[in-house]
Amino acid sequence: MAKEITPRSENYSEWYLNIVHKARMADNSAVRGCMVIKPHGFAIWEKMRDTLDAMFKETGHVNAYFPLFIPKSFLSREAAHVEGFAKECAVVTHYRLMNDPNGNGVIVDPEAKLEEELIVRPTSETIIWNSYRDWIQSYRDLPLLINQWANVVRWEMRTRPFLRTTEFLWQEGHTAHANAAEAMAETRLILDLYAKFAEEYMAMPVIKGIKTANERFAGADETFCIEALMQDGKALQAGTSHFLGQNFAKAFDVQFLNKENQQEYVWATSWGVSTRLIGGLIMTHSDDDGLVLPPKLAPIQVVIVPIPKPSDELSVVADKIAKSLRAKGIRVKIDNDDQNRPGFKFAEYEMIGVPVRLGIGARDLANNQIEVARRDTKEKLSVSLDGIDDYVAQLLEDIQQNLFNRAKAFRDENIRKVDSWDEFVETLETKAGFVSAHWDGTTETELEIKERTKATIRCIPVDGEMEDGKCVLTGKPSTRRVLFALAY
Amino acid sequence: MAKEITPRSENYSEWYLNIVHKARMADNSAVRGCMVIKPHGFAIWEKMRDTLDAMFKETGHVNAYFPLFIPKSFLSREAAHVEGFAKECAVVTHYRLMNDPNGNGVIVDPEAKLEEELIVRPTSETIIWNSYRDWIQSYRDLPLLINQWANVVRWEMRTRPFLRTTEFLWQEGHTAHANAAEAMAETRLILDLYAKFAEEYMAMPVIKGIKTANERFAGADETFCIEALMQDGKALQAGTSHFLGQNFAKAFDVQFLNKENQQEYVWATSWGVSTRLIGGLIMTHSDDDGLVLPPKLAPIQVVIVPIPKPSDELSVVADKIAKSLRAKGIRVKIDNDDQNRPGFKFAEYEMIGVPVRLGIGARDLANNQIEVARRDTKEKLSVSLDGIDDYVAQLLEDIQQNLFNRAKAFRDENIRKVDSWDEFVETLETKAGFVSAHWDGTTETELEIKERTKATIRCIPVDGEMEDGKCVLTGKPSTRRVLFALAY
């Protein structure tokens, strides 16, 4: 089965699609650009969602749910927002079908035309701020810290499972604050939370940064992001946190009575991560044999395979090991299938990314040993059955750490400081990765560079140092380096 | 605050809307028929969802996610299904907006018309069975036990928060089986699971039954349901589980190779419960002072209110009690607000349905006592601080049980056996509730009764006894009673 995967070195895009389909993560659907998230892919999303949800709640956020549909006119209220979002979206124009008088199934009933078209939400700032007008009267109603788990639709021309789909799942936080400082603190809190999640759970190192004006969210005063590097040297924007200033409060007339008894517009943030993270997870760790998952997000962390096949004797041992592992909170599967051979099963579990495989056979057991195989390095070891639970628990931690270290080493090796235009172009063409270079701060230069090289400014790193230099294209003065890359 | 609720006796519909809004469960939205589920309402939904999700997983089901959109032609594939669902639904006809040349915001781009319109899913049998064709080849791929948590849209003419909204949240299970017996067993398993959830968690007694052909799900061979009785004597269909036979397998050509090496159509079930359950929860337990929640589903189970206001001394006690309760897994809030007076707070917590309120004041503490108030009966008691954690844990169980007993007593009192047409009409007009009567089994009679009385056959109880009798309308012979009621 593993043999059917196109190697990364041969065709990276095809390798990615192979992993998505053969690891049973997602399937194409009958609707253009929409995927079906299959049980194995969805189980990973559930782990991500539950982890993030707990982190949001620990920091004082609550969940709510707002309508799927947005009246068309709402999009026009915020000038920048409409430019960014009112273009490629699904438009509901009718609310009824009728039998085709010619007998060919059903047709849209022309009588059932909506007075105002509804947009399937591409993001929910407008519909939510329209509600906040009723919810916020005084400073005592603030802060309002609300998150929503939802599906959204953006009519993308080129789609790829998880990375860019017409419909996707995400969370969108929408908070309201009494002043700019609190809203900015919230924006940064979430940025840090996203970075922590990416690094500690996904084992995916990220760079926290600020987007340029050109790459900013439509309607934001400032957009922060986490950027990751995929194995092919392309960058992936993995999450964004926006400081929205008073833009949406003004667009939807949301004012509050402040402590000084004056009416003031409310300050806002919004922030989101989506099923795109699953694409990032795949492209950070997986290999030519299939999916590689960090243990913290793996639906099955350990699989126990009786060798050569299940028997009463082996079952007793398997159950005992499983019980001791489950007592430690480890997610275990025992493979009791008696149709397929061990080699087939091994390839299958490598394909779907189970971090640890335990092979138990009569010969090993006679020596009080079992075979432990780790997915990340593909090493196999004979390990004593005594204390196997502690051994496996530690191994899962080691794998989690190893995946992060490996990805971080790769990422760090692929950030290259460049100070001339020729070097800039050559680096992008021959090595990809992040290029750290000076930029004169203008959108004009940014677009010119994109035009010539396809590279975009991924971010201005928030932890970057101030350093005098000259713009790599124009030679104009610059005070800090920014990160360029080709990106998903 | 509580004073603002219209009493049930005065106007039940208005009372319901008052509870929904004043207990901060949901809000109207700018989109016709769509509600905003506010944090308190959503927290209850999260408890319901997590409980049901665990029950589904314990019985072998996994989650997945299928597209929001369904190609229009899919609805026509199954003849009965199209009649039931292809009528009042949201239709996406375009995928792009453009700036209005006259400068008035944005308009639909006439160039961006879809070749085939997309329907926003009213239910997902069609899009899911279209995928199952690729997923199922042999009996080894069966059973397929998949559930999805999703939003769906049905363009309802008359809407009411939670009970009937244009968009609502639900779960829909879609399973595939190798034979009719297994599919029927699954249908019944879920029916029992729903009844268990309704009774043990929602404290809402339900009657398990079979729908008549006329009330059956469009595309099902048999629909099972759980029916509850609201305080106004109207019935609420709270969940349905459908045996779909081979209808969708035939419509989407889903065949499998059986153990006898023959191609056969797959057998199916589907089943769902929705945010409508929240409406049922409200109307089963709440009173003229606000929401009443069963402890198992209450986001806050216990609130501790310092009297007359928070102080350092009272805080120490409150924290200690909260800690001991949390150690028992009880969800506790300490009210540290120092602006509002106890009376205001009490009314507020009664409004949002917190099952137990602990009042701690200096005088009581001097006697080593605190005041315990239960929401269901509104009783207040002075209780010793010693062992307060055990006392409260037991009290929460008692409240859960009391709510169920109270609702069951009301429901049982309101099932009336009726054997003549006059009595039938009079009972419905004067007492409402379930009317248990004989029916001749024809759709014609069923519709005639509905026409004359507005009552529908809620179900043929699965636990009902066989009994010879005569149809209450036609006098024709009948072998068992069915339940009639006015219904939501």
Per DSSP, B180 falls in state H
Candidate from A140-154, A458-472, B66-80, B431-445 with smallest mean pLDDT: B66-80
**In sequence order, what DSSP letters do the residues of A10-37 get, joined into one string?**
T-HHHHHHHHHHHTTSEEE-SSTT-EEE
| Cβ pair B45, B51 in contact under 8 A | no
Contact between B161 and B25 under an 8 Å Cβ cutoff? The reply is: yes
Structural element, H or E, at residue A84 = helix A79-85
Residue B164 resides in a domain: yes
Q: What is the mean pLDDT of residues A37-49?
A: 98
- Token pair, residue B294, equals 């069963």
As a dihedral over the C-alpha atoms of residue B475, residue B480, residue B486, residue B488, rounded to 10 degrees, the angle is -150
Is residue A454 pLDDT above 80, yes or no? yes
**Does B84 lie at the interface with A, CB-CB under 8 angstroms?**
no
The residue ranges of DSSP E strands in A42-122, in sequence order, are 62-63, 69-71, 91-94, 97-99, 106-108, 113-120
In a domain? residue B293: no
Separation of alpha carbons B425 and A91, rounded Å: 48
Q: How confident is the model at residue A361 (pLDDT cuts 50, 70, 90)?
A: very high
Cα–Cα nearest to B352, from B51, B29, B39, B11: B39
How remote is the C-alpha of A33 from its chain's centroid? Answer: 18
Tell me the pLDDT band of B102, cut-offs 50, 70 and 90. Answer: confident
Does residue B172 contact residue B274 with C-beta atoms inside 8 Å?
A: no
CATH of the domain at B61: 3.30.930.10
Task: List CB contacts (< 8 A) between A140 and chain B.
Answer: 339
Angle made by CA atoms B394, A57, B348, in degrees to the nearest 5 = 55
pLDDT digits (tens, 9 = 90+) for B23-47: 999 999 999 999 999 999 999 999 9
pTM above 0.95, yes or no: yes
Residue A230: strand, helix, or coil: coil
Question: For tokens 């943030």, what's the residue?
Answer: A269
**pLDDT computed for residue A2 by the predictor:** 46
Which residue among A397, A430, A450 closes a domain?
Answer: A397
pLDDT at A1 over 50: no
Q: How far is CA A468 from CA A415, A448, B216, B340, in A?
A: 19, 22, 74, 56
Portion of chain A with pLDDT greater than 70, in percent: 99
In the Cβ-directed half-sphere of A447, how many Cα atoms lie within 13 Å?
Answer: 5
Are A349 and A277 in a shared domain?
no
Residues B441 and B346 in one domain: no
CA–CA separation, B153 and B123 (whole Å): 8
DSSP assignments along A164-180, one per residue = B-SEEEEEEEEEEESSH
Q: How far is A203 from chain B (nearest CA, A)?
A: 24
Q: Tell me the pLDDT of chain A averaged across its residues.
A: 96
Q: Does A44 touch chain B (CB under 8 A)?
A: no
Q: From A392, A385, A317, A390, select the one nearest A355 (Cα to Cα).
A: A392
Q: What is the complex's ipTM, to 2 decimals?
A: 0.97
Domain shared by B320 and B352, yes or no: yes
Give CA–CA dist B435/B422, Å, rounded. Answer: 13
Determine how β-strand A62-63 pairs with β-strand A144-153.
parallel
Exposed / middle / buried, residue B88 (Cβ in 10 Å: 0-12, 13-18, 19+): middle
Strand B35-37 and strand A477-485: pairing?
unpaired
The whole-number pLDDT of residue A157 equals: 87
Is A291 a member of any domain?
no
d(CA B357, CA B332): 10
Question: What is the model's pLDDT at position B427?
Answer: 96
Q: Using omega within 30 degrees of 0 as the cis cutoff, is the peptide bond preceding B461 cis?
A: no
Q: Could you tell me where the DSSP H helices lie in B124-200?
A: 125-135, 180-200
Whether A258 maps to a domain, the answer reads yes
Q: Which residues pair with B307 in a beta bridge?
A: B361
User: Which of A29, A36, A95 shows the shortest C-beta gap to B155?
Assistant: A95
If asked whether residues A423 and A346 sit together in one domain, one would say no
Q: CATH number of the domain at A347, please.
A: 3.40.50.800
- pLDDT surpasses 70 at B1: no
- Enumerate the residues of chain A whose CB falls inside 8 A of the CB of residue B72: 97, 105-106, 108
B472/B485 Cα distance (integer angstroms): 14
Are residues B394 and B420 both part of a single domain? no
| Least CB–CB distance from A131: residue in B29, B130, B167 | B29
Tokens found for residue A293? 């998952």
Domain match, A251 and A311 both: no
Question: Rg of chain B over CA atoms, in angstroms?
Answer: 26
Longest dimension (CA), chain B: 81
Of A271, A248, A274, the C-alpha closest to A75 is: A248
Q: How far is residue A120's CA from residue B364's CA, in Å, rounded to a whole number? A: 56
Q: Of the residues B260, B285, B310, which one is the last residue of a structural domain?
A: B285
Please give the single-letter amino acid code of residue B431: K
Q: Are residues B272 and B362 both part of a single domain?
A: no
pLDDT digits (tens, 9 = 90+) for B152-195: 999 988 999 999 999 999 999 999 999 999 999 999 999 999 99
- Chain B residues touching A72 at Cβ < 8 A: 97, 105-106, 108
Restricting to B residues 13-42, those with a Cβ less than 8 Å away from any Cβ of A are: 27, 29-31, 34-39, 42
Res A395 pLDDT > 60: yes
* CATH code of the domain containing A448: 3.30.110.30
Residue B246, chain A, CB below 8 Å: the answer is no
Nearest CA in chain A to B153: A68
Q: Do the Cβ atoms of A190 and A223 come closer than 8 Å?
A: no
Cβ–Cβ below 8 Å for A155 and B96? yes
Cβ distance B63 to A39 less than 8 Å, yes or no, reads: yes
Q: Do B130 and A88 make contact, defined as CB atoms within 8 angstroms?
A: no
Chain B residues within 8 A of A65 when measuring between CB atoms: 36-37, 42, 45, 169
What is the pLDDT, as a whole number, of residue B35?
Answer: 97
On whether both A149 and A252 belong to a single domain, the answer is: yes
Query: For residue B4, what pLDDT is reported?
Result: 85
H helix runs in B64-142, sequence order:
72-75, 79-85, 125-135
In-domain check, residue B295: no
Contacts of A459 (CB under 8 A, 6+ apart): A207, A208, A209, A210, A211, A225, A227, A482, A483
Evaluate whether residue A76 is within a structural domain.
Answer: no
Pair B382, B424 in one domain: no
Burial of B454 (0-12, 13-18, 19+ CB in 10 A): exposed
The pLDDT assigned to B295 comes to 98
Inter-chain contact B86–A92, Cβ cutoff 8 Å? no
CB B139 within 8 A of CB B178: yes
B117 touches chain A (CB under 8 A): yes
State whether A281 and A304 are in the same domain: no
> Per the CB < 8 Å rule, is A76 touching B105?
yes
- Give CA angle at B13 (B426, A131), nearest 5°: 160
| pLDDT surpasses 60 at B81 | yes
Q: With beta carbons less than 8 A apart as the criterion, state whether A167 and A151 touch.
A: yes
What's the structural domain count of chain B? 3
User: What average pLDDT does range A229-241 have in this prediction?
Assistant: 98
Q: Identify the sign of the CA torsion B395, B276, A150, A161.
A: positive
Count of residues for chain B?
A: 488
Pair A379, A423 in one domain: no
Q: Considering only residues B102 and B28, tell me which one the structure prediction assigns the higher pLDDT.
A: B28
Closest CA to A79 of A218, A246, A213, A216: A218
Task: Please state which of the ranges A97-111, A270-284, B187-201, B378-392 shows the lowest mean pLDDT.
Answer: A97-111
**In the prediction, which pLDDT does A3 show?**
60
Q: Is residue A92 pLDDT above 90, yes or no?
A: yes
Which residues in chain A (301-360) have CB-CB distances under 8 A to chain B? 339
Tell the burial category of B480 from Cβ atoms under 10 Å away from its Cβ (0-12, 13-18, 19+): middle
Count helices and strands in chain A by DSSP H and E runs: 14, 26
CB A325 within 8 A of CB A303: no
A307: in domain: yes
Mean pLDDT of the B183-208 span: 98
Residue with tokens 């138990």: A360
The dihedral formed by the CA atoms of B12, B18, B23 and B28, expressed in degrees to the nearest 10: 120
In a domain, B111, yes or no: yes
Residue at which a domain ends, from B285, B309, B328? B285
Full residue range of the structural domain in which residue A460 is found: 416-485
**H-assigned helices in B39-88:** 39-58, 72-75, 79-85
Kindly list the distances between the CA atom of residue A487 and the CA atoms of A231, A274, B384, in Å, as whole numbers in the listed order.
12, 17, 65
Q: Percentage of residues in chain A with pLDDT exceeding 90?
A: 93
User: Which is nearest to A197 in space by CA: A376, A23, A58, A25?
Assistant: A58
In sequence order, which residues have a C-beta less than 8 Å from that of residue A260 and are 6 or more positions away? none
B60 close contact with A: CB closer than 8 A? no
Task: Tell me the pLDDT band of B3, cut-offs 50, 70 and 90.
Answer: low
SS3 A233: coil
Contacts of B71 (CB under 8 A, 6+ apart): A30, A31, B116, B118, B119
Q: Does B399 touch chain A (CB under 8 A)?
A: no
- Residue B21 and residue B95 in one domain: yes
Q: What is the pLDDT of residues B261-301, one digit of tens each?
A: 999 999 999 999 999 999 999 999 999 999 999 999 999 99
Q: What is the pLDDT of residues A109-144, one digit of tens each?
A: 999 999 999 999 999 999 999 999 999 999 999 999
Q: CA angle, corner B344, sides to B343 and B347, nearest 5? A: 85
Strand partners, A169: A151
